[in-house]
Amino acid sequence: MGIATINPATGETLKTFEPLSTELIEAKLALSQQTFEQYRKTPMSQRAAWLYKAAEILERDQVHFGEIMTTEMGKTIKSAIAEVQKCALVCRYYAEHAAEFLADVSVGTDASQSFVRYQPLGAVLAVMPWNFPFWQVFRFAAPALMAGNVGLLKHSSNVPQCALAIEDVITEAGFPEGAFQTLLIGASQVEAIINDERVKAATLTGSELAGASLAAAAGKQIKKTVLELGGSDPFIVLESADIEAAVATAVTARLLNNGQSCIGAKRFILEESIADEFERRFLEKFQTLKVGDPMDENTDVGPLATPDILEDLDKQVQECIEKGSKVLIGGQRLSDRPGNFYPPTILADFPPGTPADQEEFFGPVALLFRVKDIDAAIELANSTLFGLGASAWTTDEQQAHRLIDELEAGAVFINGLVKSDPRLPFGGTKRSGYGRELGIQGIHEFVNIKTVWVK
């Protein structure tokens, strides 16, 4: 796939970009290294001032940036603007807290003085996805820049204008030239950059396949990686749950970002005694959703980002139906309009051997499962290869403790929507990846944790 802006609501190609030549990549890597040598010495207070400025720019131009996102990958304009606001939030969070997170930590030993010091690594390559094209980048960039690293962004090929706009924000905020650079390159050009000795580490958010490829390349060079990959997140509703609150959150959890979220709830695991009521209320809410132009503020569900994503999702749905799964709503692609639209869909009653067993459904498709009790719910929730986020609904304290302890996930949310928060570490386990972004743990991923002993 070329590097291009293709409006997913219309299929129209709006702008194309040439991938960087080998010579231009070399120039950017050289600038990155040169900038790092000076930037690492910049006082923390100066970095914070620049990051506060970036937050101001994001808020000032939030509608403009939101429109770029909606045009390139189809999220609704209201969710795009909210994403820009969240980017400003993470900038302010690290501007305020990085000095505390990176301060020397004294440790009592037999030395006169011993402590831990956190120091930057250098250039970090970020390979980022299209689904949250601003947020995914800023949640990497804010802590990395505050730690004294410099960033290189290889963004998804369908959001090039988002990638360039992010570099512009960071440059306008006052960061030195070369502190954060966008590389408009194809996937085939990534390994050579990983192999370059000036690049010290890499982070990737995306598919299992992309994560495995990046980690293998980095492993050969003995370079640190952080991976945030796919998820088939469970949304467990037990008999003791507040059903009304669970249903209202379930709709948002499944359809956020037109259903294209790694931490979106995908498998709804319902205790038998409340399953009929949940299903009825859930279906009623799906029936009221408006699918259409993502630039319209009244639209609930916009198009999927690319024709390939639409094709893959429809194949999964059709295979489930052919093998005997029940369709409560949706289940057929929308052919009455251009663009990559798929209707909000609910599937239930899965026989063994359907894609619902293990695969991630990346789009507005909810999978409903019934179980007899909490034991069966936990077993089913843990039965996939993924372990990103889990949402569970109960008012029973003992059940809540069991769910927290026994669910295999990087995050467990009791009676709430799984979401990322700058104050909390974010990441997965099993095939959902490793390492953490956000919180104090996120800023510590790309630093040299140096032990100092003095006598």
Task: Give 290-319 pLDDT, tens digit per residue.
Answer: 999 999 999 999 999 999 999 999 999 999
Q: Active-site positions?
A: 228, 262
Residues 201 and 346 in one domain: no
421 in a structural domain: no
190 in a structural domain: yes
385 in a structural domain: yes
Residues 327 and 394 in one domain: yes
Range of the domain at 29: 3-229+430-454
Asked whether the beta carbons of 419 and 390 are under 8 A apart, the reply is no
pLDDT of amino acid 335: 87
The structure tokens listed for 359 are: 């695969």
pLDDT of amino acid 1: 57
Residues 189 and 282 in one domain: no
Residues 45 and 99 in one domain: yes
Tally DSSP H helices, then E strands, for the chain.
14, 18
Match 């709709």 to its residue by tokens: 251
Q: What is the distance between the alpha carbons of residues 434 and 431, in angstroms, rounded to a whole number?
A: 8
425 in a structural domain: no
Instruction: Identify residue 1 by its one-letter amino acid code.
Output: M
User: Dihedrals φ, ψ of 166, to 5°?
Assistant: -65, -45
Question: Which residues are CB-neighbours of 95 under 8 A, at least 6 positions away?
Answer: 47, 48, 49, 51, 52, 55, 142, 146
265-271 vs 199-205, strand pairing mode: unpaired
420 in a structural domain: no
Q: What is the distance between the alpha carbons of residues 53 and 41, in angstroms, rounded to a whole number?
A: 20
Burial class of 298 by CB neighbour count within 10 A (0 to 12, 13 to 18, 19+): exposed
Domain count, the chain: 2
Residues 38 and 87 in one domain: yes
Q: What is the distance between the alpha carbons of residues 88 and 150, in angstroms, rounded to a whole number?
A: 19
Report if pTM > 0.85: yes
Secondary structure (3-state) at 168: helix
Residues 197 and 301 in one domain: no
CATH number of the domain encompassing residue 185: 3.40.605.10
208 in a structural domain: yes
pLDDT of amino acid 177: 98
419 in a structural domain: no
CATH number of the domain encompassing residue 400: 3.40.309.10
Residues 112 and 175 in one domain: yes
Burial class of 315 by CB neighbour count within 10 A (0 to 12, 13 to 18, 19+): exposed
Residues 62 and 159 in one domain: yes
CA distances from 155 to 131, 184, 233 (A): 11, 7, 25
Provide DSSP, 63-109. Answer: HHHHHHHHHHH---HHHHHHHHHHHHHHHHHHHHHHHHHTS-EE--S
Residues 396 and 254 in one domain: yes
pLDDT of amino acid 175: 99
Write the DSSP symbol of residue 176. Answer: P
Residues 193 and 242 in one domain: no
Torsion sign (Cα): 98, 105, 409, 238: negative
Question: What residues in the chain have per-residue pLDDT under 70?
Answer: 1
pLDDT of amino acid 431: 98
377 in a structural domain: yes
Residues 365 and 437 in one domain: no
Q: What is the distance between the alpha carbons of residues 403 and 119, in angstroms, rounded to a whole number?
A: 38
Secondary structure (3-state) at 359: coil
Question: Among residues 168, 138, 165, which one has the least CA distance to residue 65?
Answer: 165
Provide DSSP, 291-333. Answer: BS-TTSTT-SB---SSHHHHHHHHHHHHHHHHTTPEEEE--S-
265-271 vs 365-371, strand pairing mode: parallel
Provide DSSP, 368-417. Answer: EEEESSHHHHHHHHTTSS--SEEEEE-S-HHHHHHHHHH--SSEEEESS-
Residues 240 and 380 in one domain: yes
